[in-house]
Structure 1
Amino acid sequence: MALLAVEGVCKAFGSLKAVDEVSFTVAPGEIFGIAGPNGSGKSTLFNLITGIPFAPDRGRIVFDGDDIQGKPGHAIARLGLARTFQRETSFDGLTMFENVLIGASYGKPDRAAAAARDAAAEALEFVGLESRSFGRLAGELSVFDRKCLMLATAIAMEPKMLLLDEPASSLTRPEIETSIGLIRRTAARGITIVLIEHVLTFLMSLSQHLLVLNQGRVLAAGEPATVIADERVIEAYLGTRRAAA
């Protein structure tokens, strides 16, 4: 049984069809990659799945057996579906620990205060920020550390599934390699991951299945090696087979 099933989902802004009849499923425990050129609808798709900031115009989204299309973002999050964003988001005037504590409390509002603090501390240790977490403000962090902070905040929610939106953007090559290892370790915790990224080598190193969007529609889907060899995918990214060569 799929943990996430997206069926015929659509979203239009005026005459622009940002997401157009997109369907796919994600199995429990897998890392599922989503690729596509700029403007292909990847982040809009994440918005539709999580209800932040809008729902689909039509279509069905089922998460762990629950129909979630149209539900508010906080209700979807508390079912066990968390996300990070393209831009590094945090409460810059709060410490790293306070940021992650908000996630631990928001994701499980019935959790006792001591348990929330323990979850926040464990998540910070997991991403390698524990030694600086209590006094340093989130606004003082580097891009890489802010991405780690977002990941820790999501992990502290104890999600069943985590949607990662371009985690490798703006990172150096060594930071990208560290991120790959961190995502693998996150999956090893039993968290199913859906991953958007422009960097195909990043997706190829992590994904068990790959879906490519173009102009809001599914262009190709399947095993990563097969998908990136598809002529339509090569043309969408590079223009022609000659350009790819």
Structure 2
Amino acid sequence: MALLDVRNVGKAFGSLKALDDVSFSVNAGEIFGIAGPNGSGKSTLFNTITGIPFGPDRGKVLLDGAEIQGKSGNDIARMGLARTFQRETSFDKLTVFENAMIGATYGGRQATPTAQRDNAAEALDVVGIAAKDFGRLAEELSVFDRKCLMLATAVAMGPRILLLDEPASGLTKPEIETSIGLIRKIAARGITIVLIEHVLTFLMTLSQHLLVLNQGQMLAMGDPKTVISDPRVVEAYLGTRKPDL
């Protein structure tokens, strides 16, 4: 049974169909990639899965066989699903460690305050934030370190599956390479990853399966190399030029 199962999900805003009959499954331990041009419905898909800020209008979302559509974002998080956002987000006036503690507390998967503190510290270590920086204010961090902090806060929630929305956005090439290593490190901890990204090399390097959306509909899905060579994908996502991979 799939860890995450999205079945015929739809979401509309007035007459605009942001998602139309989207279905896919993600197995435990997998890194599953999602691509598509701007406005194709990628972030809306994450919103409907997590319930933040809205769920689907129709269809089902199952986490380990249990339906989660209609549940609150907090309940979904406590069931083991976490996400990050396109822009680096943090509580700027709180310290690095306090931000991670919010994730550990919100996720609710650690029973005691001591376990929450340990999990927050471990999550920060996983993304390469040194203990000497735990007391720094989040607003003092660079863009890359703020992205790492957002990632650590999500990991501190103790998720079984983590949805990452464009983690490479705005990063330099060396930072992108570092991010690839961090995501692999997180996956090696047994956390399943669903990844939205525009940087194709990022997706191709990490993903075992790839879904491409276009105008809210599924355009192609399967092995990344096969999908990215599909003429429909080349036309919709890349124009007329085939990617050099």
Shared topology, TM-score over 0.5?
Answer: yes
- Once residues 225 and 128 of structure 2 are traced to their aligned partners in structure 1, the CA distance between those partners, rounded to angstroms, is 32
- Once residues 244 and 208 of structure 1 are traced to their aligned partners in structure 2, the CA distance between those partners, rounded to angstroms, is 20
The equivalent residue for 2:17 is: 17
The equivalent residue for 2:242 is: 244
The equivalent residue for 2:47 is: 47
What do the CA deviations read for 1:203-228 (whole angstroms, capped 9, x no partner)?
Answer: 00000000000000000000000000
- Once residues 181 and 109 of structure 1 are traced to their aligned partners in structure 2, the CA distance between those partners, rounded to angstroms, is 25
Aligned pairs for 1:57-72 (under 5 A) are 57-72=57-72
Deviation at 1:135, TM superposition (A): 1.8
Q: Which runs of 4+ in 1 moved over 6 A?
A: none
The equivalent residue for 2:134 is: 134
Q: TM-score, normalised by structure 1?
A: 0.97
The equivalent residue for 1:35 is: 35
Secondary structure at the aligned position of 2:21 is classed as strand
Deviation at 1:132, TM superposition (A): 3.7
In the alignment of these two chains, the number of paired residues is: 243
Identity, % of aligned positions: 74
Secondary structure at the aligned position of 1:125 is classed as helix
- Once residues 101 and 112 of structure 1 are traced to their aligned partners in structure 2, the CA distance between those partners, rounded to angstroms, is 12
- Once residues 82 and 139 of structure 1 are traced to their aligned partners in structure 2, the CA distance between those partners, rounded to angstroms, is 23
Deviation at 1:111, TM superposition (A): 2.0
The equivalent residue for 2:125 is: 125
Code of the aligned partner of 2:213: L
Secondary structure at the aligned position of 1:135 is classed as coil
The equivalent residue for 1:231 is: 231
- Once residues 23 and 55 of structure 2 are traced to their aligned partners in structure 1, the CA distance between those partners, rounded to angstroms, is 15
The equivalent residue for 1:115 is: 115
Contact 1:213 1:219 in 2 (8 A): yes
Q: TM-score, normalised by structure 2?
A: 0.97
Aligned pairs for 1:73-84 (under 5 A) are 73-84=73-84
Contact 1:121 1:130 in 2 (8 A): no
Contact 1:77 1:107 in 2 (8 A): yes
Code of the aligned partner of 1:50: T
- Once residues 132 and 148 of structure 1 are traced to their aligned partners in structure 2, the CA distance between those partners, rounded to angstroms, is 15
The equivalent residue for 1:209 is: 209
Contact 2:104 2:110 in 1 (8 A): no
What do the CA deviations read for 1:28-81 (whole angstroms, capped 9, x no partner)?
Answer: 100000000000000000000000000100001101111001111000000000
Code of the aligned partner of 2:176: I
Q: Which runs of 5+ in 2 are unaligned?
A: none
The equivalent residue for 1:193 is: 193
What's the C-alpha RMSD, in Å, of the aligned pairs?
Answer: 1.1
Secondary structure at the aligned position of 1:244 is classed as coil
The equivalent residue for 2:143 is: 143
Deviation at 1:109, TM superposition (A): 6.4
The equivalent residue for 1:172 is: 172
- Once residues 85 and 193 of structure 2 are traced to their aligned partners in structure 1, the CA distance between those partners, rounded to angstroms, is 14
Deviation at 1:113, TM superposition (A): 1.0
Contact 2:90 2:138 in 1 (8 A): yes
- Once residues 54 and 238 of structure 2 are traced to their aligned partners in structure 1, the CA distance between those partners, rounded to angstroms, is 32
What do the CA deviations read for 1:123-156 (whole angstroms, capped 9, x no partner)?
Answer: 1111111234332100111111011001111111
Contact 1:105 1:111 in 2 (8 A): no
